[in-house]
Homo-oligomer: A and B are copies of this chain.
Amino acid sequence: MNFFVGDDLKIGIFGQSHAEAIGVVIEGLPAGRRLDLEALAAFLARRAPGRNAWSTPRKEPDAPELLSGLVEGRTCGAPLAFLIRNRDQRSGDYESLKNTPRPGHADYAAQRKYGGFQDARGGGAFSGRMTAPLCIAGGVCLQLLEEQGVSIGAHAAAIAGVEDRPFDPVSLTREQLYAVKANPFPTQDIEKAEEMCKAISLAGQEGDSVGGVIECAALGLPAGLGGPLFGGLEGRISRLVFAVPAVKGVEFGAGFASAGLRGSENNDAFCCDGERVVTRTNRHGGILGGISTGMPLLFRAAVKPTPSIAKEQETVDLSARKAATLSVGGRHDPCIVPRAVPCIEAAAAVALYDAWLDRKKEC
């Protein structure tokens, strides 16, 4: 299934970029949980475009409308359902997409999967806009996890080669996570944000785009979430994170770097911190055997450069089966990393809250 996901928490997303609406249905939440819709809107605002200089000038208020599932601010056992109306559509920009697929985009693959019946307007169901309903689901889960003492936050670890200071894998604090969320640009170091913004602007001016890496952390997770084999947190989180378009890689803890270490260098020694059992280092990224260890859960996601660029590119005219060129017009972020940061948080939150519900059955 493409639009539905989850084991204990079920998420069903619907919509296309230029359909009447997009939205999400969230089933499986316990009843009686408070939900703060303003906080949810504030979370969604972090992924909304048009907020500042480096972002696309399109205005998408993306204010979600609650359709069901809450009574007097509390979950009632029926699914939460949210709707976002689509507006400011310029279908004309996209008309020839079916015939001359954009490099780096889903156009050609979707054409082959759906036999030409896919909604090509604005990227259809492949549009980055589809991360808005994912963020609604994630925003809900973030609140429910926060209520349990779990905080999730991410930052732009790198953009266009400029690297932000990484999260400290052992001593990262909630305050540090909250600080990044409060920043206009999602880095730990303000100076790095400036450098990144410059690099993004430069690329945009040149009709090009840049990518980056997002690092995400979950603090306060109890030990014992997840499981072996297909229930492992790495696999569960990855399935959600790869739902964010443009993500091409995911690594946990030391990740690819651990491949070059020796076991004696990579293993994290256990030690006692008062009554708690912790590890001195955290190359395992808070997950061993697919299960949370109680240490900060840490992962990084690679985001490719925005495929929509003004520069001329080679493609094919599908009907004539001959070479063609194409320059992607319209308004596009030269870098989606900043807006993808809350999407990655949302993806992690959905996966972790699903694992949280699963754990309740164990007891």
Stretch at the interface among A38-46, A55-63, A302-310: A302-310
Q: Which residues of chain B are near A210, meaning CB under 8 Å?
A: 262-263
Interface assignment of A75: CB less than 8 Å from any CB of chain B: yes
Chain A count of residues within 8 A CB distance of the other chain: 156
Q: Which residues of chain B are near A105, meaning CB under 8 Å?
A: 288-289
Q: Which residues of chain B are near A180, meaning CB under 8 Å?
A: none
Stretch at the interface among A142-150, A164-172, A188-196, A233-241: A233-241
Copies, count: 4
Interface assignment of A4: CB less than 8 Å from any CB of chain B: yes
The reply to whether A209 and B263 contact each other, CB–CB distance below 8 Å, is: yes
The reply to whether A360 and B361 contact each other, CB–CB distance below 8 Å, is: yes
Within the assembled complex, what's the spacing in Å between the Cα atoms of A322 and B273? 10
The reply to whether B71 and A117 contact each other, CB–CB distance below 8 Å, is: yes
The reply to whether B314 and A258 contact each other, CB–CB distance below 8 Å, is: no
Q: Which residues of chain B are near A81, meaning CB under 8 Å?
A: 14-15, 21, 23
Interface assignment of A250: CB less than 8 Å from any CB of chain B: yes
Across the interface, A228 reaches (CB within 8 A) one of B71, B130, B229, B272, namely B130
The reply to whether B211 and A266 contact each other, CB–CB distance below 8 Å, is: yes
Q: Which residues of chain B are near A265, meaning CB under 8 Å?
A: 305
The reply to whether B238 and A235 contact each other, CB–CB distance below 8 Å, is: yes
Interface assignment of A220: CB less than 8 Å from any CB of chain B: no
Interface assignment of A179: CB less than 8 Å from any CB of chain B: no
Q: List, sorted by A's number, 20 A–B pairs whose CB atoms are closer than 8 Å.
A: A8-B361, A12-B12, A30-B362, A101-B277, A103-B268, A106-B290, A109-B224, A109-B226, A109-B293, A209-B262, A211-B259, A211-B263, A213-B259, A235-B242, A248-B255, A249-B258, A254-B304, A263-B309, A267-B307, A269-B313
- Shortest Cβ gap from A107 to chain B (Å): 8
Across the interface, A109 reaches (CB within 8 A) one of B109, B121, B241, B288, namely B288
The reply to whether A13 and B229 contact each other, CB–CB distance below 8 Å, is: yes
Across the interface, A211 reaches (CB within 8 A) one of B27, B103, B245, B261, namely B261
The reply to whether B109 and A318 contact each other, CB–CB distance below 8 Å, is: no
Contact with B along A323-363 (1 / 0, CB 8 A): 10000000000100000000000000000000001011111
The reply to whether A223 and B109 contact each other, CB–CB distance below 8 Å, is: yes
- Shortest Cβ gap from A239 to chain B (Å): 4
Interface assignment of A275: CB less than 8 Å from any CB of chain B: yes
Interface assignment of A5: CB less than 8 Å from any CB of chain B: yes
Within the assembled complex, what's the spacing in Å between the Cα atoms of A117 and B204? 51
Q: Which residues of chain B are near A173, meaning CB under 8 Å?
A: none
Within the assembled complex, what's the spacing in Å between the Cα atoms of A249 and B299? 9
The reply to whether B15 and A12 contact each other, CB–CB distance below 8 Å, is: no
